């Protein structure tokens, strides 16, 4: 077959490719879903009874704002990094707010150390915290996985890490709004521990998770 005939044959079977929306636009769609999930959780479980008092404390407001900002910026970074022509410097986008969030938790550990007695943490409250984590992180994880499926062959690990960080930060914000246990041990377990777990699992199983939504990708076998 002549080269001209081969090119003509390939060109005749070409199908138009639908362009992806800009990363910020897709991130905004996902963040809108996150806002809806938080709204439904607040309706079903209610806000913490001492929220008005907590909002007068600078450390609480700063910590919640930092976790929310980390979730937003990490989501934008994840969608930007899913495109092959974007710089890896997008990884640095959530770093300032992440440092602020973690340093605020560290500050609370040093200045507001609380000893939790037998009555401090009950099974019911622990179950509610776990339910909040699952009800927040599961739908957001599935939605982000589907929306970022095109990055399966490009940068699956760093995209998944940024997405996991965003989900962890949004989940931490939900915990701050709904649950009233602010003791140091609970902060460390529910916020830092949960964030580290999601990011670690995302980094390790990135290709496997993308394989669920992109089964035809040859490099995922």
Kindly give the confidence (pLDDT) of every residue in the chain, 221 residues in length, as a single tens digit, with 9 standing for 90 and above.
677 777 676 666 666 666 778 889 999 999 999 999 999 988 988 888 888 888 898 888 998 899 999 999 999 999 999 888 888 899 999 999 999 988 887 776 666 555 454 454 554 556 677 777 778 888 888 888 888 877 656 777 788 888 888 988 898 888 888 876 554 455 555 555 555 665 566 556 556 655 655 544 444 33
As given in the structure block, the two tokens for residue 102 are 């973690």
Q: Please tell me the predicted confidence (pLDDT) of residue 15.
A: 67
Give the integer Cα–Cα distance in Å for 51 and 193. 23
* Count of beta carbons in the 10 Å neighbourhood of residue 221: 8
Rg of the chain, C-alpha, whole Å: 21
Terminal-residue alpha carbon distance, the chain: 33
Q: Please tell me the predicted confidence (pLDDT) of residue 143.
A: 87
Q: Tell me how far CA of residue 114 lies from CA of 7, 110, 183, 184, in angstroms.
A: 72, 10, 5, 6
Q: Please tell me the predicted confidence (pLDDT) of residue 213.
A: 55
Among 105, 109, 79, which Cα is nearest to 94's?
79
Helix (H) or strand (E) holding 12: helix 3-12
Q: Please tell me the predicted confidence (pLDDT) of residue 177.
A: 86
Can you spell out the DSSP letters for 13-60? T--PPPPPPPHHHHHHHHHHHHHHHHHHHHHHH---TTHHHHTT-HHH
- Report yes or no: 191 and 102 within 8 Å, Cβ to Cβ: no
Q: Please tell me the predicted confidence (pLDDT) of residue 215.
A: 43
């Amino acid at each position: 077959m002549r080269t001209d005939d081969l090119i003509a044959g390939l060109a005749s079977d070409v199908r138009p490719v639908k362009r992806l929306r800009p990363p910020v636009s897709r991130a905004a769609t996902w963040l809108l879903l996150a806002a809806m999930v938080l709204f439904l959780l607040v309706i079903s479980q209610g806000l913490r009874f001492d929220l008005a008092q907590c909002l007068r404390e600078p450390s609480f407001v700063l910590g919640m704002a930092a976790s929310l900002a980390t979730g937003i910026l990490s989501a934008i970074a994840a969608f930007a990094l899913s495109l092959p022509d974007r710089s890896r410097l997008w990884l640095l986008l959530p770093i300032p707010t992440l440092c602020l969030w973690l340093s605020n938790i560290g500050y609370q550990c040093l200045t507001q150390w609380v000893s939790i007695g037998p009555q401090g943490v009950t099974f019911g409250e622990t179950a509610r915290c776990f339910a909040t984590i699952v009800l927040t992180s599961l739908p957001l994880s599935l939605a982000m996985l589907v929306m970022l499926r095109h990055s399966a062959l490009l940068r699956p690990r760093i995209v998944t890490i940024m997405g996991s960080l965003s989900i962890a930060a949004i989940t931490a914000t939900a915990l701050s709004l709904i649950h009233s246990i602010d003791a140091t041990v609970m902060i460390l377990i529910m916020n830092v521990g949960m964030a580290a777990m999601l990011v670690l699992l995302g980094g390790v199983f990135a290709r496997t998770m993308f394989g669920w939504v992109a089964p035809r990708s040859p490099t995922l076998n």
